């Protein structure tokens, strides 16, 4: 049976976590049992995900959004206490990988999103290579791109800008990357896809002629953690299950 530290060391090296400056710890966040037979993966270490891991008798919960963030209080009270207490009570390891999982060229959220949508990947740029660029299938306009995202992700995106314009140069970053929109505009994007939208992006899209599409933070980040778990399944002969939530954000 694989050892916890062997799995964490493999993930740390594979995702090259030392190359990233993150606002969350990457790697093991809560220590559980030493040997790992079954892993549950999920986007977020929510109480629902932890309860599912308990139900599945998992030894590790592997997530994109862990429990500790620089902007949050350090006290372990309320919701954070309930989640950590459940992990400790059932001796379940919690491992989280944030920006390294967004940017990875194979199992990353951006790369996996492109794979599911049939987008060509031409490269990565921007802060810590978090901005990916390329092109959708030929003859795709903004309306078709929105429809493709809706079909693939199972939710209706929010779009701002010209839906009739042809999309030949596409930039994207999963999650809450609306702050990268101006950079994508400066780099010549016809369209930019991310998970969230703020008030300012509507005006930028309208005034610059670049389509902005918010396809859902959770929805755009479902696939990287599954791809990482799939690699662990191959490397360590583990049993892996994915837990999903109906998160509209």
Residues at the binding site are 64-65, 102, 217, 221
Between vectors from CA 101 to CA 230 and to CA 65, what angle results, nearest 5°? 100
Q: What is the CA radius of gyration of the chain?
A: 19
How far out from the chain centre does Cα 16 lie? 16
Copy the structure tokens of residue 204. Answer: 């930028």
- 6-9 contact pairs (CB < 8 A, 24+): 6/236, 7/36, 7/60, 7/95, 7/232, 7/236, 7/238, 8/95
Burial profile 77-110: b = 16 or more Cβ within 10 angstroms, e = fewer: eeebeebbeebeebebbbbbbbbbbbbbeebbbb
* Binding site, annotated residues for a divalent metal cation: 64-65, 102, 217, 221
Find tokens 């892996």 and name the residue: 240
Q: Rounded to the nearest 5°, which phi and psi values hold at 82?
A: -65, -40
């Amino acid at each position: 049976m694989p050892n916890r530290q062997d799995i964490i060391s493999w993930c740390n090296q594979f995702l090259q976590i030392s190359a990233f400056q993150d606002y969350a710890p990457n790697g093991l966040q809560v220590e559980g049992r030493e040997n790992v037979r079954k892993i549950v993966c999920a986007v977020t270490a929510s109480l629902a995900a932890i309860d599912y891991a308990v139900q599945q008798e998992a030894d590790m919960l592997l997530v994109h959004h862990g429990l500790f963030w620089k902007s949050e209080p350090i006290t372990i009270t309320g919701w954070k206490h309930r989640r950590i207490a459940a992990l400790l009570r059932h001796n379940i390891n919690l491992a989280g990988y944030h920006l390294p999982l967004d940017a990875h060229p194979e199992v990353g959220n951006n790369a996996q999103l492109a794979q599911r949508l049939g987008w060509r990947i031409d490269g990565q740029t921007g802060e810590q290579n978090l901005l990916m660029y390329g092109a959708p299938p030929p003859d795709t306009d903004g309306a078709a791109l929105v429809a493709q995202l809706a079909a693939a992700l199972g939710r209706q995106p929010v779009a701002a800008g010209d839906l009739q314009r042809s999309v030949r140069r596409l930039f994207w970053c999963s999650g809450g990357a609306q702050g990268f929109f101006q950079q994508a505009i400066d780099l010549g994007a016809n369209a930019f896809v991310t998970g969230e939208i703020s008030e300012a992006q509507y005006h930028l899209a309208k005034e610059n002629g670049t389509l902005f599409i918010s396809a859902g933070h959770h929805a755009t980040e479902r696939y990287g953690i599954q791809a990482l778990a799939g690699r662990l399944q191959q490397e360590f002969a583990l049993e892996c299950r994915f837990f999903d939530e109906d998160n509209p954000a």
